[in-house]
Chains A and B, each alone.
Chain A
Amino acid sequence: MEQMSDQDSPLRSRTDPAVVAMVGSDDIVEVTFELNGTATTLRCSVRWTLADMLREKARVTGTHLGCEHGVCGACTVIVDGEPVRSCVMLAVQVEGSSVRTIEGLCPSGELHPVQRAFHESHALQCGFCTPGFIMLSVGLLEREPDASKGRIRDVLSSNLCRCTGYRPILRAVRSAQREMSQ
């Protein structure tokens, strides 16, 4: 696995049992993907999750781990336009993909409307779930700018927050939606 061609890419190994059998759990692989708009190649163990690769190898630590079994959503990032739980996705699965994390949301320093709305609506307290909620909301509003209140509520129900009681989060996302549609 030292010299990797397209044929040997981990992307292919997902579907090819012969390749899977060749890959030991401690084998180091290279993953090439776009991270917040920048071409990135990282090396990590083949069994590492996307969240761990982002946090430990790319050192973008805004993606948080609350449960590591795909329920709380604190680790939500956007892969190829879709919000995903990076704790239950393997790092190798983003080969060739575009990954956006909370750190990439305001490259110019100016807050994204969703970030600003979270601040102004008091939609965070401890802040641990916040990057996940923000990435989930950005992913939703980019794909469905006209999402109904019910649809927003349903999507936001997929993440957990222990501090706010959720209403300020719903308010923030609705307010950001109005701003983004202008």
Chain B
Amino acid sequence: MLAAEPKSVGRPVLRKEDNRLIKGLGCYVADVNRPDQVYARIVRSQVAHAKLLGVHLEEARARPGCVAAFAATDIPDIAQKKIPVRITPSRLDQFALQTPLAVDKVRYVGEPIAVVVATDPYVAEDVAEDVWAEMEELPPHLDPLSAGGSVLHEMVPDNIVGDIDTSNGEDVDGLFRNADVLLHQRFSIHRHSAAPLEPRGLVAEADPQTGRLVVWGPTKVKHFNKRVLASMLDLPDNRILLIEPDVGGGFGPRGEFYPEDFLIPWLALRLKRPVKWIEDRAENFVALNHSREHVIDLTIAAQSDGTLLGFRCTDWCSVGAYVRTTGLTVAKLVGLHLSGPYRWRGFSSKVIGVLTNKTPLGTYRGPGEVEATFVRERALDILAAKLGLDPTDIRRRNLIPAEALPYRVETGPRSETLEYGSGNYPAMFDRLLANAGYQELKDEQARRRELGEAVGIGVACFLDQGGIGPFEQARVVAEVDGTFTGYVGVASVGQGVQTALAQILADEIGVSVDRARILHHDTDSIEDGMGAYASRTTSVGGSALVLAARQLKDNARRAGAQRFGVAEHEVELRADEVWARDGRVVTFRALECEASARFETSAIDFSFGSVLATVSVDRGTGRVRVERYVGHYDVGRAVNPLIVRGQLEGGAAQGIGGILLEELAYDDRGQPLCTSFMDYMLPTLSEVPYIETAWSEFPSEDNLIGAKGAGEAGIIGSMAVIANAVADALDPDRMVVTSTPLRADRVLGLLRASSSAPPHGISSTLDST
């Protein structure tokens, strides 16, 4: 017998995905071509808010090369074909759902009003130009703080689609009365989003042999999308196959069900030809979910020694023109994450979803968590400055101590109780400060300030939530070539799923990782799956694989014993072989073993993270340069340290771009101002600093892997830590930054404000009670 295969989990196994991708042999959706295919192009509204009086397709249909052109009136029952909410429903959301094409009104620039099909993708764009619409413009509603004004949806007269209260049930008023100090502050967070490098796309075809509808291009939540599509097309589920090709980045928005996810399959059935649609970048900027836009009022009650007592918060979240599949998740998570890794005696928050004439909002990496962390950590710095405390001291004083874990937080009479599991927040925060050399940084900052430099140090602490249920499924097959295939219902958006999950599968069976393979590509190979979001793929998908592999071993033991004519306890498993005591041996594959399992959990993993950044601000231009970016995270268990590091560093880089460069700005008529990479600035290598990343491993007790989230941890503290560092650079009272983004032009304005006294634009007030 061979020596036991060394475990691969925990080792930096090079990725199995890479070999194809570095040779240009990946197959992204734009690389899928079907015989006799035609090309679709969406015609989108160019105004933000208008009555749609008519869509004229005659000229488009007359252009040579045009195959078909359709508006809402051409799709039977389109008013009933509403794209449903997948998570976080709200009171009136059923009155604000989007139909695949606009029916009688347009409500944002970019809303689909027609779809055309041509024999050539260039001609399809020409045909789209020939479509024209009659509209009667209405004033747009753009400011989430003015709930009244122009009404988007008749049944939502105040434009408020719903609200969610979060409270731990304590007497917040009483805490406020007895507090030494109250800090009131309004914060605003700018609209931005993921901008995955690959635009979306779909190829749909009715299989010529079976008549089944096959769609290439879905990802993230394929099984949910299959059910939605089946319902909207009025087809049985099993008549649809969704295939996930390689995906050029997900980060949350990509893979949700969008209008095109109905239109392209519908066209394929209607035209009885394969239809291909590839989004362009300008479309991507108005069609893919936006994220993050909030105005948040926060009041904190504290003692004069910095002990936090309670907070009250109202969040107006600009959800855009429709409620999309992720419902009010972005706003809800602000409420759930405001308390963060600190002890509060009482808190109460209300998040309000306000409809606005902009592209609809959805989740983007660290949804709500990024924003809540920004608001809370900014407020803590302002409070610390007012109380004469170092920012690290106010955090140390209030972090939940290790002995208080697991720590339970009530969130409302009808809401879940959160449980913060394993960890040691204060010790990890101290590790961060030691790794960064906090005291030396302070000394260096003092020296440079004397030379007139605007340099700042920021810290931020947060909790990341991951590993959410309710379930994942897996199926493991012993293949004839001696490998093992694990079919999973999670998805790949480029994270390295095929490698990390193969490591888990290989270890559980006891074979080398090159004998394990993960398939997650279609809705046929596994009955159901939740998908890739909320940092759950490795922990929840991996747990399902472990259960399936265990089941496979049980099946092999039983089948082997039967083969040898002995009792089950008389055989022994050695890796993928079943041995009898007399030396007879049979492999799993010879026994044709296969097993399925389902892992269920109602838990949410909360993991601690903290970050430190140093910045310098150019007083002449307002440009912020991030000099150091240091993070320390609890990842539970790093299944593949290479991939974990990549997730954490990549998340941080995205966050740095998000606060310093990117903004999905609109003018006062609701026209988007950033629809190319020349005005939506993404960070390049020149803007992203060397990111210093370390982690601790406090294994999760909620799944079989021990892993906690890594996909989002890197971004959650990024906005807060950069904002705190910039505030520290600009202003010794660290007050000046209360809104984002911190692009050079905005920072220049803040520099001017902070150098004149009294400062302008600062509404923060501190009451002594």
Point out residues on A near B: beta carbons under 8 Å.
26, 45, 47-48, 52, 55, 60-69, 71-72, 74, 101-103, 105-106, 111, 115, 118-120, 122, 124-131, 134, 153-154, 156-170
Q: Report whether A127 and B246 are in contact in the complex, using a CB–CB cutoff of 8 Å.
A: yes
Secondary structure at chain A's binding surface: helix, strand, loop or mixed? loop
Q: Report whether B122 and A45 are in contact in the complex, using a CB–CB cutoff of 8 Å.
A: yes
Asked if A167 meets B691 with Cβ closer than 8 Å, knowing A72-B677, A106-B23, the reply is: yes
Segment touching A, from B423-431, B482-490, B508-516, B681-689: B681-689
- Closest CB-CB distance, A169 to chain B, in whole Å? 7
Residue of B nearest to A155 (CB): B685
Q: Report whether B28 and A128 are in contact in the complex, using a CB–CB cutoff of 8 Å.
A: yes
- Pick from B22, B280, B676 the residue with the most CB of A within 10 Å: B22
Chain A residues within 8 Å of B494, by CB: 125-128, 163
Q: Report whether A118 and B24 are in contact in the complex, using a CB–CB cutoff of 8 Å.
A: no
Q: In the complex, A48 Cα to B17 Cα: how many Å?
A: 32
Q: Report whether A163 and B21 are in contact in the complex, using a CB–CB cutoff of 8 Å.
A: no
Asked if A158 meets B684 with Cβ closer than 8 Å, knowing A66-B197, A115-B22, A134-B22, the reply is: yes
Q: In the complex, A164 Cα to B685 Cα: how many Å?
A: 10
Told that A126-B493, A168-B646 touch, could you supply 19 new A-B pairs with CB distance under 8 A? A55-B31, A64-B198, A68-B280, A69-B678, A71-B677, A102-B23, A119-B19, A122-B643, A126-B197, A126-B246, A126-B248, A128-B28, A153-B686, A156-B685, A157-B684, A165-B650, A165-B653, A167-B690, A168-B649
Annotate B7-46 by CB proximity to A: 1 below 8 A, 0 otherwise.
0000000110111111111111011000000000000000
Q: Report whether B246 and A164 are in contact in the complex, using a CB–CB cutoff of 8 Å.
A: no
Point out residues on B near A: beta carbons under 8 Å.
14-15, 17-28, 30-31, 120-123, 194-199, 246-251, 280-281, 493-496, 642-643, 645-646, 649-650, 652-654, 676-678, 682, 684-686, 688, 690-691
Q: In the complex, A48 Cα to B120 Cα: how many Å?
A: 11
Chain B residues within 8 Å of A127, by CB: 17-18, 20-22, 26, 246, 248, 494
Q: In the complex, A121 Cα to B163 Cα: how many Å?
A: 46
Q: In the complex, A111 Cα to B25 Cα: how many Å?
A: 13
Which residue from A47, A66, A106 sits with its C-beta under 8 Å from B281?
A66
- Closest CB-CB distance, B255 to chain A, in whole Å? 13
Q: Report whether A102 and B249 are in contact in the complex, using a CB–CB cutoff of 8 Å.
A: no
Which residue from A71, A105, A126, A165 sits with its C-beta under 8 Å from B249?
A126
Asked if A66 meets B653 with Cβ closer than 8 Å, knowing A103-B23, A115-B22, A124-B21, the reply is: no
Q: In the complex, A61 Cα to B246 Cα: how many Å?
A: 13
Q: In the complex, A115 Cα to B646 Cα: how many Å?
A: 18
Q: Report whether A153 and B685 are in contact in the complex, using a CB–CB cutoff of 8 Å.
A: yes
Q: In the complex, A119 Cα to B25 Cα: how many Å?
A: 14
Secondary structure at chain B's binding surface: helix, strand, loop or mixed? loop
Residue of A nearest to B65 (CB): A26
Q: In the complex, A127 Cα to B684 Cα: how many Å?
A: 17
Q: Report whether A69 and B248 are in contact in the complex, using a CB–CB cutoff of 8 Å.
A: no
Q: Report whether B248 and A64 are in contact in the complex, using a CB–CB cutoff of 8 Å.
A: yes
Q: Report whether A124 and B677 are in contact in the complex, using a CB–CB cutoff of 8 Å.
A: no
Residue of B nearest to A132 (CB): B197
Q: In the complex, A62 Cα to B21 Cα: how many Å?
A: 8
Asked if A161 meets B197 with Cβ closer than 8 Å, knowing A64-B28, A127-B26, A156-B685, the reply is: yes
Q: Report whether A169 and B198 are in contact in the complex, using a CB–CB cutoff of 8 Å.
A: no
Q: Report whether A69 and B24 are in contact in the complex, using a CB–CB cutoff of 8 Å.
A: no
Q: In the complex, A160 Cα to B194 Cα: how many Å?
A: 13
Residue of A nearest to B120 (CB): A45
Q: Report whether A162 and B686 are in contact in the complex, using a CB–CB cutoff of 8 Å.
A: no
- Closest CB-CB distance, B216 to chain A, in whole Å? 13
- Closest CB-CB distance, A101 to chain B, in whole Å? 7
Chain B residues within 8 Å of A67, by CB: 281, 676-677
Which residue from B18, B196, B281, B688 sits with its C-beta under 8 Å from A167?
B688
Q: Report whether B685 and A128 are in contact in the complex, using a CB–CB cutoff of 8 Å.
A: no
Q: Report whether B22 and A118 are in contact in the complex, using a CB–CB cutoff of 8 Å.
A: yes
Which residue from A60, A66, A167 sits with its C-beta under 8 Å from B198?
A66
Q: Report whether B249 and A60 are in contact in the complex, using a CB–CB cutoff of 8 Å.
A: no
A-B pairs with lowest CB-CB distance, top 9: A62-B24, A126-B494, A128-B248, A127-B21, A102-B24, A165-B653, A71-B677, A165-B649, A61-B31
- Closest CB-CB distance, A70 to chain B, in whole Å? 9
Residue of B nearest to A111 (CB): B22
Chain B residues within 8 Å of A166, by CB: 653, 684-685, 688
Q: Would you give 19 A-B contacts (Cβ < 8 Å), ordered by A?
A: A45-B120, A45-B122, A60-B24, A62-B26, A64-B197, A66-B198, A103-B23, A111-B22, A122-B646, A126-B248, A127-B22, A128-B196, A128-B246, A154-B686, A160-B682, A162-B194, A164-B649, A165-B653, A168-B649
- Pick from B15, B24, B646 the residue with the most CB of A within 10 Å: B24
- Pick from A129, A162, A168 the residue with the most CB of B within 10 Å: A162
Q: In the complex, A45 Cα to B124 Cα: how many Å?
A: 14
Q: Report whether B642 and A122 are in contact in the complex, using a CB–CB cutoff of 8 Å.
A: yes
Chain B residues within 8 Å of A159, by CB: 684
Chain A residues within 8 Å of B643, by CB: 122
Chain B residues within 8 Å of A60, by CB: 24
- Closest CB-CB distance, A84 to chain B, in whole Å? 16
Q: In the complex, A66 Cα to B30 Cα: how many Å?
A: 11
Q: Report whether B122 and A72 are in contact in the complex, using a CB–CB cutoff of 8 Å.
A: no
Asked if A119 meets B281 with Cβ closer than 8 Å, knowing A72-B197, A126-B197, the reply is: no
